[in-house]
């Protein structure tokens, strides 16, 4: 019985690894968060379109470099359990359709895709709702290109972990950026 179980387990792991090595492997996450900010919509719009705030306040976005008037390169540090963190670069284009909507999206969808959207809704003259949507995906030829255990852990499990990380990062970003917005607005009032 033990030999049968060992053989079955070996074949199972071999099948998973062979499938992971012969097909693409994609991790993806999508998160939304909303916050009411007691500031004018125009002020918030200018603030969130400033690319300098993202590496300053968004955990694991280590740099944002403006390439042209409409494109920028964002570097995101992927922190996976039991692996050395590594950087993934995204080239984004600014597709913002109006002053009250921020929209940055990767020029290409594969292998790495990042989508950042913020919609501002005026509640009153001094209060604005900011609704954020972030999407990220990484596709690799082999699961092991993402993480040495990726083929065993699976796309679904690792995508859920990526979503948890992104949710935490977005919450930290909103909290830190809103505090900074209030401080910055007070400086402009003087």
Predicted pLDDT of residue 65: 97
Q: Residues 140-167, buried b or exposed e (16+ Cβ, 10 A)? A: beebebbbebbbebebeebbebbbebbe
Domain 2-189 class, CATH top level: alpha beta
Predicted pLDDT of residue 83: 72
Cα–Cα distance for residue pair 135/112, rounded to 1 Å: 11
Predicted pLDDT of residue 3: 47
Predicted pLDDT of residue 100: 94
DSSP 8-class letter at 64: E
Predicted pLDDT of residue 18: 45
Q: Is 95 strand, coil or helix? A: coil
Query: Sign of torsion, CA 56 108 118 174?
Result: negative
Helix 155-189 and helix 41-48, axial crossing angle in degrees, nearest 10: 120
Closest C-alpha to 92, from 77, 70, 59: 70
Does this model's pTM top 0.85? My answer is no
Predicted pLDDT of residue 81: 65
Q: For residue 22, what are its two tokens?
A: 């012969």
User: What is the DSSP code string of 72-94?
Assistant: EEEEEEE--TTS--EEEEEEEEE
Predicted pLDDT of residue 132: 97
Laid out side by side, the sheet with 112-124 consists of 25-37, 127-140, 112-124, 101-106, 86-94, 71-78, 61-66
The values of phi and psi at residue 65, to 5°, are -120, 125
Sequential pLDDT tens for the chain (190 residues): 554 444 344 444 544 444 444 579 998 999 999 999 999 999 999 999 999 999 999 999 999 999 999 999 999 998 776 678 889 999 999 999 999 999 999 999 999 999 999 999 999 999 999 999 999 999 999 988 877 888 888 899 989 988 999 999 999 999 999 999 999 998 876 5
Write down the domain spans for the chain: 2-189
């Amino acid at each position: 019985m033990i030999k049968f179980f060992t053989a079955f387990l070996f074949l199972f792991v071999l099948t998973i690894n062979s499938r992971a090595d012969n097909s693409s492997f994609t991790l993806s996450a999508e998160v939304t968060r909303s916050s009411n900010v007691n500031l004018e919509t125009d002020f918030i719009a200018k603030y969130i379109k400033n690319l300098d705030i993202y590496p300053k306040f968004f955990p694991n976005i280590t740099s944002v470099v403006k390439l042209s008037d409409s494109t920028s390169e964002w570097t995101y540090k992927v922190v996976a359990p039991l692996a050395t963190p590594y950087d993934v670069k995204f080239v984004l284009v600014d597709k913002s359709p109006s002053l009250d909507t921020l929209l940055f999206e990767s020029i290409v969808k594969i292998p790495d895709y990042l989508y950042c959207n913020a919609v501002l809704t005026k509640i009153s003259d001094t209060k604005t709702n900011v609704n954020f949507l972030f999407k990220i995906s990484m596709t690799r030829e082999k699961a092991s290109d993402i993480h040495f255990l990726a083929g065993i852990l699976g796309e679904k499990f690792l995508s859920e972990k990526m979503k948890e990380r992104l949710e935490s990062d977005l919450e930290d970003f909103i909290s830190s950026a809103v505090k900074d917005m209030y401080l910055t607005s007070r400086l402009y009032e003087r």
